[in-house]
Amino acid sequence: MKKIFVGNLPENATETSVTELFSEFGTVRSIQLIQDIFSGKCKGFGFIEMEGHDARAAIAGCDGKMFEGKPLKVKFEDDRAKGKGKRRR
């Protein structure tokens, strides 16, 4: 299972619309769009889990693809970025 970062999503993107887009390349195992707490609108990015070969096909097919008027940024989640932004104690 691979986790994909999807960026530059429009604020009206929904889990259903993004799932439909990525389902073209294989089974979407899970999806998490990051939403604004107050408005409930998409903050412009999210994460999708797919099998490895499906994930690679999705990245190749969706990176730079226009989605509701915006070019998507799609790549594997960067493991090195984990832990950044956490509060120090």
**pLDDT tens sequence across 5-58:** 999 999 999 999 999 999 999 999 999 999 999 999 999 999 999 999 999 999
Cα 64 to Cα 86: distance, rounded to the nearest angstrom: 30
The tokens describing 14, both together, are 């929904």
Which residue's structure tokens are 């408005």? 39
Type of residue at 15: E
Domain ranges of the chain: 2-78
CB 18: neighbour CB atoms within 10 A?
21
30 CB-near residues (< 8 Å, 6+ apart): 48, 49
pTM of the model: 0.84
- CATH 3.30.70.330 is right for the domain spanning 2-78: yes
